[in-house]
A = this chain, B = another copy of it.
Amino acid sequence: MKTKKINIKQKFSKLSEYWSPKVLAEMNDYQFKIAKIKGDFIWHKHKDTDEVFIIIEGNMKIEFRDRVLKLSEGDLYVVPKGEEHRPYSEKECKIMLVEPKGTQNTGDKRGTLTAENDIWV
């Protein structure tokens, strides 16, 4: 169990690739992950879990089948379990995700954007 104090913003300096969430902390069987994102992600859903987005720096959008959501620094959004979504961002955006350990970034899809899971930052 890692229980060191973590400065969220500082940890982003350790990330290199976009769209590749890294684990920051674990709480019970949940993980806090950070990611830098830029450009387009793919449509996907997480059939077994909600997924929380917290915007640490910058702006991003999440497209749903019926709407587009704009998120800015300091916003929190819960993507409901099973709802198809597509995150994207014109400029670099820094986000924190909260979800059960083992949640795959591309959900029900596999592809070039599928990141290795459970890698700590």
Chain A residues with a Cβ under 8 A of chain B: 1-3, 5-10, 24-28, 30, 32, 49-52, 54, 69, 71-72, 74-81, 98-100
Contact = CB atoms under 8 A, between A and B. Distances in A.
Main secondary structure of the interface of A (DSSP, over half): strand
18 contacts: A1-B78, A3-B77, A3-B79, A3-B80, A5-B75, A5-B77, A7-B72, A7-B74, A8-B54, A8-B74, A8-B76, A10-B74, A26-B50, A26-B78, A28-B49, A28-B81, A30-B30, A32-B76
A83 to B, nearest CB: 9
B50 A98 contact: no
Contacts of A71: 5
Given A27-B50, A52-B27, A100-B28, A5 B80 contact: no
Given A25-B52, A27-B51, 11 more contacts: A3-B77, A3-B78, A3-B79, A6-B76, A7-B76, A8-B76, A26-B50, A26-B78, A28-B81, A30-B30, A98-B98
